[in-house]
Structure 1
Amino acid sequence: MQTPDGSRPAPTPAHPTPDKRHLRTALAGLTGLLLGAAITAATASTLWPHTPTTPLRPLEAAPETDPVRSGNLQFDTTGLRCGITTIVGTHGEHWAKGRLCRIRLTITSQDSVFGQIDNEIHRLALDDGTELTLDREATQIKRQPLRTEVAAHGTITYDLWYDLPRNRHPTALRVRANDTEPPATIPLPRRDWTEGSA
C-alpha cells in the first residue's frame, strides 16, 4: 500500500522494541513490589494492630494508651520499661536505689509559639498511692532533658527516668504543660519486668 505521496509507510514491528520491552518489564516489577508491600502492611496490621510507630527497644513494652492534653501540649507514652537495676552511661555505671523505670514520652505542641517544658513537674504514680519525681541522676547519665522546649506545632520525644522502691509498680504518669495547668493522667500497664541493665 502506498501513501498519497507515493511512498510506502514504515512497517509496523511485530514485537515491541527493546526500549519498550525494558519499560514494560520495569513497570511489571514495580507493580509487583507495590503489591507485595501492600499485602505485607495489611498482614502486619491484622496480626499486630498496636504496632508502635517508633521501634521498641529491648525489653520495652508499648503502653498502648491514648494521648492526653494539658494546656497546649499533647502527651503520649510510646515505650515503657521497668525493672532496670543499673544503667550504663559514657562515664560508667549507675545502680538504682530500687528499680528504675524508663518512660518514652512524645510531646506535641498545639500552639503557635515555643512551648517550655519542665520535666520535673511530671509525677509517676505508684500502686501504694505515692508519687515520684524525676530521678535527676539517671536522667543526666542518660543525657535526657530536665527542661526543654518544643517548637510551635512541633513534636519532641525523649525518656523520663524514675527510681522506684523495689516492690512497687507504676500505675500512671501525671503530666503537666506547666505549673499553672492541671495534670493529665496517662494510665500505665502492670507487668512483671525482667531485671537487667539499660
Structure 2
Amino acid sequence: MNHKTMKNLISCFVDPTDSRILMEITARKTATAKELAKALPDIPQASLYRHLGKMVKCGVLKIAEERPVRALVEKVYAMDMDTAQDIPRLLEENRGDVYMSLFAQFSAALMGEFADYAARDDINILKDGSGFSTGPIAVNLEELEDLMLKIGELTAPYRTPEQAAKPGRKMHSLAIIVTPPKEGGEQT
C-alpha cells in the first residue's frame, strides 16, 4: 500500500459512510453491493455504489470476484490489502506498507466492535466495562518485551473457554497497541 493509498484509506475512515462500508466488508471479508445494501439500509443505493466506486478507484477496495447473475455481473468487494501476509515474512521483509495495511485492518475490526456496541439501545458506557486510553511509556526493547510478556501472563486466565462459561461473564476484546517510537527519540 503506497502513501497515497494510505492517505485515501485514512480519509475513508473519517468519512462516516465510507467507514461503515469498510467495517462491514472487514467483518465479512468480502461483500456484494446487494449484501451491503441489506446490511446498511439507510445508505441510498446510488450513494452506496458511488462510495464503492470511489474506494475501488483510490485503491482502498478491490473487486475480488465478478459473478454472473442473470444478464448482469455482480461484483464482490474486498479490502485491497494482503490479509494473508504472514507475520514472520512481514518481519523479515520489514515492509512499512504491509505493516500499515495490517494495522488498518486491525483498526477497522476494532472500530467495528465499537460501532456494533454504539448502535445498541441498551448500552451503559460506565457499567459495561468498555473504554480506551493512551499514555506514554519510556522503555528500551528488552523492557518492552518483558512488559508484553507480563501483560500476556496477567490476561491468560481470562482467555479460556472455562472463564467465558462462568456466570456473569461477558466477552470483551482487549487491544494493546504499542506505537512505533517517536522520531528522534533516544535509541539504546
Shared fold, TM over 0.5: no
Give the TM-score normalised by the residue count of structure 1.
0.20
Which structure shows the higher strand fraction?
Answer: 1
Higher fraction of helix: 2
TM-score by length of 2: 0.21
- Structure with the bigger RCO (C-alpha within 8 Å, sep 6+) is 1
Bigger Rg over Cα: 1
